[in-house]
Amino acid sequence: MSRQTVVNIPVTDHDNFSFAECLVFLGRSEKECLHYVQDGVVQKMIVSNGEPVLMEISDNTASGSLRIVVRSAANDKPEGSKGSKEHLVIDEAYIRRYISHWLHLDADLRPFYDFAAKDNVLGLLVTRYKGLRLIGIPELFEALTWSIMGQQITLGFAYTLRQRFIQAFGHHAVIDGKDHYVYPHPAVIAALEPATLISMQFSRSKADYIIRLAQSMTAGHLTVEQLENMNYQQARDHLVSFRGIGNWSANYVLMKYHRHHQALPLEDAGLHNALKYQLQLTAKPSLADVKTYTQHWGEHAAYATFYLWRSLY
């Protein structure tokens, strides 16, 4: 295999898929450093078969799929130069699973759209943002730590902390003059002292939560396999048993990583603000009011929440 290969990934329910809408979400922060959006292409570095590779993701509308160009990110030397690898061996099945999970390419939006069409708030949003998939977080550790970083601070500062965290502890490669990163591995973070994160402006409690969580994952007390064998309630209860993970964080992780469609981050400030705007309320709704507004969402709660978040930018 050459140093570059192409993988095509089919999109389920392609009539209800908009890569352009997905790009809006993926490009929402200038502090994002795990992927880049430029000229309709998403660049993201991951590790495949123990080797960092760069994925360049673009739409292939004619075939109802996404086109992924995968090339080595081990170094930035031209093919044939000293020290470069002549062959790139990737796990294509892993690439397909990774991107399908991240961008929710295997979702069928028709049940949600049928439900939303009868709702005064959601009906307008699914028309306006038709084709938007619930963009997830592809790694459990990333989802968990991001939910902790974002607690009780502004979204902008949360992105600043996340950027510092990734750039300090994630795998780094320079490709075509651009810095690319892979999210830090739990084993790397498990070895840190809280003072290291505190010096980066993490609160003492967040530093402690993140390191302890990394240690729990490294020790096998919290794994992807465990969550896969649990229903929604069991997974939620398991997550909240760890320090730093409350109801909001657990539901956020189950929504964005584990794809439980009934996951509802009820306490989310963005959800409250979006409901205030869409319902034209004079003040942010109370938690009791939010429960009332969302109680009929059921298995559509995660997508309903995501579309309301989309209405904020």
Based on the residue annotation, tell me whether 76 is a catalytic residue of this protein: no
What's the 3-state SS for 47-69? EECCEEEEEEEEEEHHHCEEEEE
In the structure, what pLDDT confidence band is assigned to residue 1 with cuts at 50, 70 and 90? very low
Q: Kindly state the DSSP code that residue 138 receives in the 8-state scheme.
A: S
Q: CA dihedral in degrees (303, 213, 162, 67; nearest 10)?
A: -50
In the structure, what pLDDT confidence band is assigned to residue 74 with cuts at 50, 70 and 90? confident
Q: Is the alpha carbon torsion for 81, 83, 87, 93 positive or negative?
A: negative
Residue 77 has pLDDT above 50, yes or no: no
pTM: predicted TM-score of the whole model, two decimal places: 0.92
Q: Which domains, from first to last, does the chain contain?
A: 4-105 (3.30.310), 140-263 (1.10.340.30)
Q: What is the per-residue pLDDT for 86? A: 54
pLDDT digits (tens, 9 = 90+) for 106-150: 999 999 999 999 999 999 999 999 999 999 999 999 999 999 999
For residue 183, what are the contacts with CB-CB under 8 A and spacing of at least 6?
Answer: 34, 139, 141, 142, 166, 170
Average pLDDT, the chain: 93
What is d(CA 90, CA 251) in angstroms, rounded to the nearest whole number? 33
Catalytic residue among 76, 237, 268, 289: 268
Structure-token pair, residue 230: 């649990």
In the structure, what pLDDT confidence band is assigned to residue 81 with cuts at 50, 70 and 90? very low
pLDDT digits (tens, 9 = 90+) for 14-28: 999 999 999 999 999
Q: What is the per-residue pLDDT for 49? A: 86
